[in-house]
Amino acid sequence: MSSVDLSKSSAWQQGARDALPLLGGYIPVAISFGLIAVQSGFSALETVLISALIYAGASQFLFIAMVASGAPLWLVLVMTLLINARHLVYGPNIAPYLSNSRWWPVLMHGLTDQIFALAHTRLPQLEEKDRMGWYISAALIAWGSWIIGTAVGAIAGAEITSRWPLLGEVMPFALPALFLVLLAPRFTSVQWTLTMIVTIVAALVLKLMGMTNSAIPLAALCGVSLFYLVQAKLKAEGKIHG
DSSP-derived 3-state class of residue 206: helix
Interface residue with another protein, options 33, 61, 90, 134 (CB under 8 A): 90
The verdict on 138 binding another protein (CB under 8 A) reads no
**Nearer to another protein (CB atom), residue 133 or residue 172:** 172
Contact of 115 with 18, CB cutoff 8 Å = no
What's the residue count for the chain? 242
State the minimum distance, in angstroms, from the CB of residue 236 to another protein.
18
Please tell me the distance from the alpha carbon of residue 82 to that of residue 207, in angstroms, as a whole number: 17
The verdict on 18 binding another protein (CB under 8 A) reads yes
Interface residue with another protein, options 48, 98, 151, 154 (CB under 8 A): 98
Angle between helices 44-53 and 128-163 (to 10 degrees): 150
Please tell me the distance from the alpha carbon of residue 63 to that of residue 27, in angstroms, as a whole number: 19
Looking only at residues 103 through 132 of this chain, which bind another protein when binding is defined by CB under 8 A? 104-106, 108-109, 111, 113-114, 116-117, 120
Torsion of CA 170, 176, 177, 182, to 10 degrees: 160
The verdict on 96 binding another protein (CB under 8 A) reads yes
Interface residue with another protein, options 9, 10, 39, 89 (CB under 8 A): 89
Stretch of 128-136, 147-155, 203-211, 232-240 lying at the interface with another protein (CB under 8 A): 203-211
State the minimum distance, in angstroms, from the CB of residue 228 to another protein.
8
The verdict on 229 binding another protein (CB under 8 A) reads no
Please tell me the distance from the alpha carbon of residue 50 to that of residue 37, in angstroms, as a whole number: 10
